[in-house]
């Protein structure tokens, strides 16, 4: 099975459980993996036989820069559900949402949540 992967897409959003996160906003990074059969696209060289990754980016962008959410889990679920339902022939979707600026009194690079639908 083949995959289309978009890595480390960056967005500025107003997500988080704290009022300060919702008012100031912060950076978020998202990875998407879509598992599907790309045999036809590989033979035809036609976009309509594949999944348009520009469209995938636009779907993720709309969610990440849209309505404020409290949890990374919710953002991941919204993206995964939309992609899994939107495209025919998708076997699985994995969405990773990373938040580098977390309100934790400790040292870490980021927190991430991985959400999957289907078979990955």
Mark whether 99 is an active-site residue.
yes
Catalytic site residue from 7, 19, 82, 99: 99
What angle (nearest 5°) sits at the alpha carbon of residue 98, between those of residues 10 and 64?
A: 50
Task: Classify each residue of 41-55 as buried b or exposed e, where b means 16 or more C-beta atoms within 10 Å of its C-beta.
Answer: beeeeeeeebbeeee
Instruction: Determine contact, residues 34/82, Cβ cutoff 8 Å.
Output: no
Instruction: Determine contact, residues 92/116, Cβ cutoff 8 Å.
Output: yes
d(CA 58, CA 1): 24
Q: What are the catalytic residues?
A: 99
């Amino acid at each position: 099975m083949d995959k289309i992967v978009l890595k480390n897409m960056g967005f500025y959003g107003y997500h988080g459980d704290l009022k300060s996160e919702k008012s100031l906003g912060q950076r978020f990074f998202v990875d998407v993996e879509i598992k599907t059969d790309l045999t036809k696209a590989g033979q035809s060289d036609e976009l309509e036989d594949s999944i348009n990754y520009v469209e995938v980016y636009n779907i993720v962008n709309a969610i990440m820069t849209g309505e404020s959410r409290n949890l990374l889990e919710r953002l991941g679920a919204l993206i995964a559900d939309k992609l899994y339902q939107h495209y025919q022939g998708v076997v699985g979707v994995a969405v990773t949402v990373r938040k580098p600026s977390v309100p934790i009194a400790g040292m870490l690079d980021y927190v991430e949540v991985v959400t999957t639908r289907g078979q990955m």
